[in-house]
Structure 1
Amino acid sequence: MRLIFTSLVSHGHLYPLLPLAAAARDAGHEVVFATGDDMLTVVEKAGLAVESAGLGMHEAMASVLGPGVRPNASDGPPESFYPVIGQVFGNVLPRRFVADLTPLLERFRPDLVVYESGNAGGAIAARLAGVPAIGHGFGRFSPGGITDAIHGRLAEFAAEVGFEGVYLPSFGDPVVDICPESVQEPDFVAEANRIPLRPVGWAEPGDLPAGVVGRDKSRPLIYLTLGTAFGDEDVVKRAIGGLARLDGDVILAAGPTVDPAALGELPGNVRVEVWVPQVDLLPHVDLVVHHGGSGTTLGAFGAGLPQLVLPQGADQFTNAEAVVTAGVGRRLTGADVVEDVIFEQARKLLTDETVLGAARKLADEVAAMPSPAEVAQRLPEFAG
């Protein structure tokens, strides 16, 4: 069977598809992964054939906001960015992906398209080409708010190209769902044709920071990250200030948006890395303090870790809500994102047996979900 996988051009949207794409290849299917130029090297490291399609997130944002401008959580309430998000994800990106995928579908003639759920252009291109398709989620589906903003702009574009029945997030297609059912959005669970898949995680090959393996486990290890898109130096500084007061060690993954040199002199128990292989690091960690990105949230679910979430934008606020609702962590926003509160909440999370028990229970639920190899065996069912 011939398969095209396609995702938006970001780590958070791309990484969740790689385990299933690799498993499909290992099962003997011919697999091509279509995404933007910025991510092609990443996909090739997973051993997959690649095709260029789509537009990078920063380029798409710049086409709406202007060069060098990006939404920031400190600039206003999340809803103030909904029109921008709606235009980017409901018009700019789908339009470009349809344009790029249409000739690829004609040339490759796949039996099935697996499109990442944020990539509406993948769904539309497949439907217009008459190719069976399924969605692939990257986390918890978010009702209202951002979804409504995207839907409004997407409906306009879909009507323009003759695509009927716009319905987010699945367009009526089956959806590979990597979010544990207990924390998935209830209406989505009730209405969608879900294909559960364990969120096993994926990271580019690389070594763990020195001292992580074989460390003194009497001291907790806290992993701090604000991801690859919404890093805020001021928030990171406040988080470092609070976490450094704990009797433990802190590893910060600065990512591409936080300059380690701008953080100044750091406490002795804080180490900064530009990048870490997160999926390999999490089993060694005692607490994750993060932005609420889907990859980090689900990774912590699978590792059975408590979470302190400092949401910065996009779906991070609903992910933070899911963490709190599941009883596996806390959320801080606005005026609460200060050193004293971060210290106090982190201290409690490291020792709260109720939270730790809930995190272990959620990890058991993740472990019981079908593996990528098992789901890959089912893919011919959806090729029609």
Structure 2
Amino acid sequence: MRILFTSLASYGHLYPLLPLASAARDAGHEVLYATASDFHPTLEKAGLEAVAAGLTLQEAFNLLFAGDTRSRYEVPEAELNEAIGKAFGRLLPTRFMTDLAAVLAERKPDLVVYEMGNPGGAFAAHQAGIPAIGHGFGRVSGGGPMEHITEQIDAFAAELGLTGSSKLFWGQPFVDICPPSVQAPAFLAGAQRVPLRPVGWSEPGDLPSGVEGRDRGRPLLYLTLGTTGASQAHLLTSALHGLAALDADVLVATGPAVDVAALGEVPSNVRLEAWVPQSQLLPHVDLVVHHGGSGTTLGGFAAGVPQLLLPQGADQFTNADAVVAAGVGAKLVGDELTTDAVRETAGRLLADSAVEDAVRGLAEEVAGMPSPEEVAAQLPQYA
């Protein structure tokens, strides 16, 4: 069977699909993966055939704000939300749908697996008469900019004759990598879910020296704000100094956009790394402090690690709410994010036996979900 996977061109949208795509390939299916060419080197490292389609997120917003000299933070929230709705609900789906139409006509896949942020995959499959299923990258949530996106997507889908609600992915099967206990109740009640264990994927690489085989009697705290945002150096600085005040070792993944020099002099128990193989690292840490991205959130669930979330945008706020509701962590939002608050909250999470119990229970729930190999074996029934 020939299967085409497609996602938006960002690590947060790409990585969650790679375990299932790889398992489908290993099961003997011919697997193609369509996304913008900037991310083809990652697909090649995963051993998958890459096909060019769509725009990167940066390209989409450059088109929407062409000639606009304002910084992101100078754009009023209402205007920014409207632009986000147009980007994800109309511009990106249109480009993906156009590019994928040619790919589908030439390669003739039996099934399209589209990531939930890329409805253009669903639209292209619908127009070509090819069965399609959705694939999540985390918790399915609404509110904020999502309402603008949903409005645009629903209008677009109606124009194409695709019936049903985009909030339930038009009744199509949906590969859900979020454990049910933290998934949105409305989605659980109405979606045609295909559960899949969230399995982290990161580019091959070695763990920082000293992580494996270390003395587990001294906590290792991991801090990351993901792969975006050169302007986040001040957040990293506040958080790392708060964590460094604890009797622990602190490992900071600064990401590609942050100028390490902007962090200033760091305490002796803090180690800075531009990049780490996060999926390999998480089982070795005692607390993860992060921005609330879906990949890190689900990775923490699977690894059984308490979490302190510092959400900045998008679905990060609802992820933070879900972490708090599940009893597996805490959040600091806006002005709450101070060095002292990070120190106090992280220290409490490390010492709280109720959090430890909740984390263990959620990790057991994740471990009981079907593996990528098990779900790959089900894919022919959807073709």
TM-score range, shorter chain: over 0.9
- State the 1:57 CA deviation: 1.2
| Runs of at least 5 residues in structure 1 that lack an aligned partner in the other structure | none
**Counterpart in the other structure of 1:365:** 365
Change (3 A) 1:374 1:103: same
- State the 1:70 CA deviation: 6.7
Whole-Å separation in 1 of the counterparts to 2:75 and 2:238? 17
**Counterpart in the other structure of 2:246:** 246
- State the 1:316 CA deviation: 0.4
- State the 1:341 CA deviation: 0.5
CA contact (8 A) 1:61 1:70 kept: no
**Counterpart in the other structure of 2:201:** 202
CA contact (8 A) 2:162 2:170 kept: no
CA contact (8 A) 1:136 1:175 kept: yes
**Counterpart in the other structure of 1:355:** 355
- State the 1:168 CA deviation: 2.6
- State the 1:214 CA deviation: 1.7
CA contact (8 A) 1:12 1:294 kept: yes
Amino acid in structure 2 at the alignment position of 1:323:
V
**Counterpart in the other structure of 2:90:** 91
CA contact (8 A) 1:62 1:69 kept: no
**Counterpart in the other structure of 1:23:** 23
**Counterpart in the other structure of 1:221:** 220
**Counterpart in the other structure of 2:41:** 41
Change (3 A) 1:321 1:94: same
**Counterpart in the other structure of 2:270:** 270
For residue 54 of structure 2, give the secondary structure of its aligned residue in structure 1. Answer: coil
Amino acid in structure 2 at the alignment position of 1:39:
F
Amino acid in structure 2 at the alignment position of 1:186:
P
Q: Count residues with an aligned counterpart.
A: 381
Change (3 A) 1:325 1:92: same
Residues 302-351 of structure 1 deviation map (CA, whole Å, 9 limit, x = unaligned): 00110000001111000000000000000101111000001000000111
CA contact (8 A) 2:218 2:249 kept: yes
Change (3 A) 1:303 1:93: same
Whole-Å separation in 2 of the counterparts to 1:153 and 1:173? 19
**Counterpart in the other structure of 1:151:** 150
| Runs of at least 5 residues in structure 2 that lack an aligned partner in the other structure | none
Instruction: Say if 2:64 is the partner of 1:64.
Output: yes
Residues 335-368 of structure 1 deviation map (CA, whole Å, 9 limit, x = unaligned): 1100000100000011100011100000000000
For residue 121 of structure 1, give the secondary structure of its aligned residue in structure 2. Answer: helix
**Counterpart in the other structure of 1:139:** 138
Residues 213-251 of structure 1 deviation map (CA, whole Å, 9 limit, x = unaligned): 122222100110000124611111110111110111111
For residue 20 of structure 1, give the secondary structure of its aligned residue in structure 2. Answer: helix
- State the 1:199 CA deviation: 0.4
Change (3 A) 1:336 1:21: same
Q: How does 1:62-211 map to 2 (within 5 A)?
A: 62-66=62-66, 71=72, 81-211=80-210
Whole-Å separation in 1 of the counterparts to 2:367 and 2:220? 23
CA contact (8 A) 1:141 1:169 kept: no
- State the 1:195 CA deviation: 0.2
- TM-score, normalised via structure 1 length: 0.95
Whole-Å separation in 2 of the counterparts to 1:59 and 1:358? 41
Amino acid in structure 2 at the alignment position of 1:224:
L
For residue 134 of structure 1, give the secondary structure of its aligned residue in structure 2. Answer: strand
Of 187-196 and 49-58, more deviation after overlay is shown by: 49-58
Residues 168-191 of structure 1 deviation map (CA, whole Å, 9 limit, x = unaligned): 351221100000000000000000
Amino acid in structure 2 at the alignment position of 1:329:
G
CA contact (8 A) 1:255 1:275 kept: yes
For residue 171 of structure 1, give the secondary structure of its aligned residue in structure 2. Answer: helix
**Counterpart in the other structure of 1:382:** 382
Amino acid in structure 2 at the alignment position of 1:94:
P
For residue 312 of structure 1, give the secondary structure of its aligned residue in structure 2. Answer: coil
- State the 1:75 CA deviation: 8.0
**Counterpart in the other structure of 1:14:** 14
- State the 1:164 CA deviation: 4.5
- State the 1:155 CA deviation: 3.1
Amino acid in structure 1 at the alignment position of 2:254:
A
Whole-Å separation in 2 of the counterparts to 1:204 and 1:259? 22
CA contact (8 A) 1:117 1:169 kept: no
- TM-score, normalised via structure 2 length: 0.95
Whole-Å separation in 1 of the counterparts to 2:213 and 2:76? 44
